[in-house]
């Protein structure tokens, strides 16, 4: 069962994503800020990270860059899911090391499809 780590400061978003992912056969853990998320990614080694961008303290772009440049976590695909909808945000997220980028609100089928395409076979 693939393990997904959700890094998002919104308890509501975490609950919605967790329920959707668990119903689709994923094991889910979460972190409420970027620093905690980086620590959990290093210790838990999830199969994929769903990363919010707008969070207090370190933002999701910074956390994505940290994870993608760390030898211990560089192989974990990161899917940014955010309310930031500008093309420049998408390009910046991908330049930081994210493998894909979705804008909230997310279509549940699209989210599952993107996750499945990013998971290692």
Q: Can you give the residue range of the structural domain that contains 40? A: 3-118
Average pLDDT, the chain: 97
Give which of 99, 53, 51 is closest to 74, Cα–Cα.
Answer: 99
Question: What are the structure tokens assigned to 7, written together?
Answer: 């890094």
The contacts of residue 9 (CB under 8 Å, 6+ apart) are 32, 33, 52, 54, 55, 56
Helix (H, G, I), strand (E, B) or coil at 19: helix
Give 11's pLDDT tier (boundaries 50, 70, 90).
very high
Question: What are the structure tokens assigned to 66, written together?
Answer: 């940290």
Could you report the per-residue pLDDT of 77-108, keeping only the tens digit for each? 999 999 999 999 999 999 999 999 999 999 99
In this structure, is the dihedral angle defined by the CA atoms of residues 58, 3, 50 and 25, taken in order, positive or negative?
A: negative
Question: What is the tally of helices (H) and strands (E) in the chain?
Answer: 5, 5
| Predicted structure pTM score | 0.97
The number of distinct structural domains making up the chain is: 1
Task: Give the CATH number of the domain where residue 111 resides.
Answer: 3.40.50.2300
């Amino acid at each position: 069962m693939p393990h997904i780590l959700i890094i998002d400061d919104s308890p509501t978003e975490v609950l919605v994503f967790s329920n959707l992912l668990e119903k689709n056969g994923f094991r889910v853990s979460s972190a409420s800020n970027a620093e905690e998320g980086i620590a959990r990614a290093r210790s838990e080694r999830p199969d994929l990270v769903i990363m919010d961008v707008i969070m207090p303290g370190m933002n999701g772009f910074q956390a994505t860059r940290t994870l993608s440049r760390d030898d211990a976590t560089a192989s974990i695909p990161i899917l940014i899911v955010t309310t930031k909808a500008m093309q420049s945000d998408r390009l910046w997220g991908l330049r930081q090391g994210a493998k894909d980028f979705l804008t909230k609100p997310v279509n549940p089928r699209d989210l599952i499809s993107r996750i499945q395409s990013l998971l290692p076979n």
